[in-house]
Structure 1
Amino acid sequence: MRFVPLLLLGTLVSACAKEGPPVADVVSEPQTVTVTATDYGYQLPSAPIKAGLTTITLVNEGKEIHHLTLIRLADGKTMSDFMTAIETPGPVPDWAVGMGGPNGAPPGGEANATLVLESGTYVVACFIPSPDGVPHFAKGMIMGMEVQPEDGATAALPAGDIQVGLLEYGFTLSQTPMAGKRSFTVTNQGKEPHEVVLVRLAPGKTIEQLAAWLEAGEQGPPPGEPIGGLSGMNPGQVQNFSADLTPGTYGFICFVPAPDGAPHFAHGMVATFTVS
């Protein structure tokens, strides 16, 4: 397991900082979109995807960990324009804006994200690297996605059970989660892009040991397994995800690169909590 802190990912999510959608106390039913991940590709649903409140579930049928990063293309740009742009060294153009998405789906498992989609053209991509160090998008795990205008008024994002804040460089939780299916409302309150990966830690292991294991090249058994989270989010952005928690020790970790190129977890962006 390794999540690459690609500078590409960092520039994508920082290309446009915008305020997130309002969070509602009254729950509205979101559109549901299921995407299947394999090694190395995505299968999108055949039905049209509409703008508005949407829950995207990433079902991982591969043997490696995957995520789905949403990148909205502005100014009439196309998938071809994006592929051409990323071939050139340097920052990604401002018209390619990272929009979050489900993160940390383990093999045979799934991850989800609830967000308000805007209409337009998107790229969906996985930036996690294989054991050979090559990121999945470079192996073909990248494709276009069209989101059509919605039919009615946009429903607000529902409030989750737990409020999570992303900052330089740490996490805040409104309360310690209890066992069961829990929903998390995540807000990037910082000035840099951030992500959150929720990890179920092995008995006796810590999130710091997981970070050290990653930095050492993933030698030996992993100290934990990801079970969900959200891909890179702009400052001010708000999204939800849910996860089934059993009693044990869990951690949050962020792999997005800081301006100095080091991943945020190397600056201390980890957190640990115990579920009872």
Structure 2
Amino acid sequence: MRYLIIVLLAAITLTNCKEKKTEKEGMDSDQGVLISPEQKGEIPVLTQSMEFITSDTLRSGWNTFIYENRSTEVHFLLLDLYPAGKTVENTKAEVLPPFDEGMKLIMEGDMENAVTAFGKLPAWFQEIKFKGGTGLISPRHTAKSTIYLVPGRYIMECYVKMFNGEWHTSHGMLKEIIVTDDTTELEEPQPTITLDISSTDGIVLRDSLTGGKQIIRTNYVDQTVYEHFLGHDVNLVRYENGASLDSLIQWMNWMDPRGLRSPAPEGFTFLGGMNNLSAGEKGYFEVDLTPGNYVFISEVPEADKKRLLRTFTISN
């Protein structure tokens, strides 16, 4: 009997160790197969200063990006699908110099020559397709967005500006990612709230907003190019009583010398959202709405006049 008890205890110990190892390694306990974050479609991204720490290779299909901003700056991540044959080296050689030159001239108040500088962008730049990402995210916060990726070569970027007006992209926030033909296991999320965005109707909510954890489906009814050479997106921002919405509206226009420039306007906390997508596409982002004042806003010039700003309040 004593021998039998010893054997049983050893078996229990071995089973517990195996279960702990399975949990730690992300292993399917039923099949004994190691499942990577890329296969799951749950992709951690970390910024500690001016970088994206994440996988170089992802799978196609639905992917959830869990973006943790540990830096002292506001950031976002945007995934750009590049035309065939173009790489991050082309970006560094042909795209960053015109943008750097143009922004330097904007900071000097020379808008006419700045526009000329942006005109030096290569023709292939117009072939880039924006495939979504997170909205703006404040320091010490985490954003969670889900987008559908097709196979190809992508650039992950953040073009917020430093205190001197220089782009984050020019300081390391530019990462090449390959998306393969293999697909993730992630299924399309089930939303609790649906939001439409268009150049004609602006931001339109299809459901009532309530407190708690929400999954917001963002439908891009259409897309257009505004005067800042980009389309619309959706950013969720919490704001304190007395915070100036006018300062936020101005800050959301990168062509303004103070736009998207550190520090962000006081009284606002950026909580993510859904970055630029093409017409007819959709993405999802997750939020926890606690009591307070909020605004959905696009990163476009004069968002309020374009109906691309919508305020709301979550009550106790």
Shift of 1:67: 0.5
The 8 Å contact of residues 208 and 270 in structure 1, kept in 2 or not, is answered as no
For 1:172, which of 189, 200, 204 is the aligned residue? 204
Q: Classify the secondary structure of the residue corresponding to 2:287.
A: strand
Distance in structure 2 (CA, Å) of the matches to 1:35 and 1:148: 18
Which residue in the other structure is 1:98 paired with? 130
Q: Which amino acid aligns with 1:42?
A: F
Which residue in the other structure is 2:240 paired with? 202
Aligned length: 241
Which residue in the other structure is 1:241 paired with? 285
For 2:54, which of 36, 44, 47 is the aligned residue? 44
Which residue in the other structure is 1:270 paired with? 309
The 8 Å contact of residues 219 and 282 in structure 2, kept in 1 or not, is answered as yes
Larger RCO, structure (CA 8 Å, separation 6 or more): 1
For each residue in 1:4-30, what CA deviation from the matched residue of structure 2 results, as whole angstroms up to 9, or x when unmatched? xxxxxxxxxxxxxxxxxxxxxxxxx96
Q: Classify the secondary structure of the residue corresponding to 2:170.
A: helix
Q: Classify the secondary structure of the residue corresponding to 2:133.
A: coil
Change (3 A) 1:151 1:235: closer
Distance in structure 1 (CA, Å) of the matches to 2:264 and 2:88: 39
TM-score normalised by length of structure 1: 0.77
Q: Classify the secondary structure of the residue corresponding to 2:90.
A: helix
Structure 2 counterparts to residues 207-246 of structure 1, below 5 A: 207-208=245-246, 210-212=248-250, 217=258, 222-246=266-290
Distance in structure 1 (CA, Å) of the matches to 2:314 and 2:303: 24
Distance in structure 1 (CA, Å) of the matches to 2:183 and 2:51: 30
Q: Classify the secondary structure of the residue corresponding to 1:59.
A: strand
Distance in structure 2 (CA, Å) of the matches to 1:178 and 1:254: 21
Shift of 1:254: 0.8
Q: Which amino acid aligns with 2:191?
A: G
Which residue in the other structure is 1:254 paired with? 298
For 1:186, which of 211, 218, 236 is the aligned residue? 218
Q: Classify the secondary structure of the residue corresponding to 1:45.
A: coil
Q: Does 1:60 align with 2:69?
A: yes
Distance in structure 1 (CA, Å) of the matches to 2:72 and 2:243: 24
By percentage of residues, which structure has more strand? 1
Q: Classify the secondary structure of the residue corresponding to 2:169.
A: helix
For each residue in 1:123-144, what CA deviation from the matched residue of structure 2 results, as whole angstroms up to 9, or x when unmatched? 1110111222112101121111
Change (3 A) 1:92 1:191: same
Q: Classify the secondary structure of the residue corresponding to 1:41.
A: coil
Shift of 1:41: 0.9
The 8 Å contact of residues 61 and 107 in structure 1, kept in 2 or not, is answered as yes
Q: Which ranges in structure 1 are unaligned for 5 or more consecutive residues?
A: 1-28, 257-261
Change (3 A) 1:78 1:210: closer
For each residue in 1:128-183, what CA deviation from the matched residue of structure 2 results, as whole angstroms up to 9, or x when unmatched? 1122211210112111111222257x866333111111122621011232111111
Shift of 1:201: 1.1
Q: Classify the secondary structure of the residue corresponding to 2:216.
A: strand
For each residue in 1:189-237, what CA deviation from the matched residue of structure 2 results, as whole angstroms up to 9, or x when unmatched? 1341311110001124464453256679489961321111112222222
Shift of 1:71: 0.7
Which residue in the other structure is 2:146 paired with? 114
Which residue in the other structure is 1:125 paired with? 157
Shift of 1:82: 2.9
For 1:137, which of 169, 172, 189 is the aligned residue? 169
Distance in structure 2 (CA, Å) of the matches to 1:126 and 1:195: 14
For each residue in 1:6-64, what CA deviation from the matched residue of structure 2 results, as whole angstroms up to 9, or x when unmatched? xxxxxxxxxxxxxxxxxxxxxxx961000111321111137x42111110111111100
Q: Which amino acid aligns with 2:51?
A: G
Shift of 1:80: 1.6
Report sequence identity in percent. Answer: 24
Q: Classify the secondary structure of the residue corresponding to 2:73.
A: coil
Distance in structure 2 (CA, Å) of the matches to 1:226 and 1:126: 14
Q: Which ranges in structure 2 are unaligned for 5 or more consecutive residues?
A: 1-38, 99-119, 225-230
The 8 Å contact of residues 83 and 124 in structure 2, kept in 1 or not, is answered as no
The 8 Å contact of residues 203 and 307 in structure 2, kept in 1 or not, is answered as no
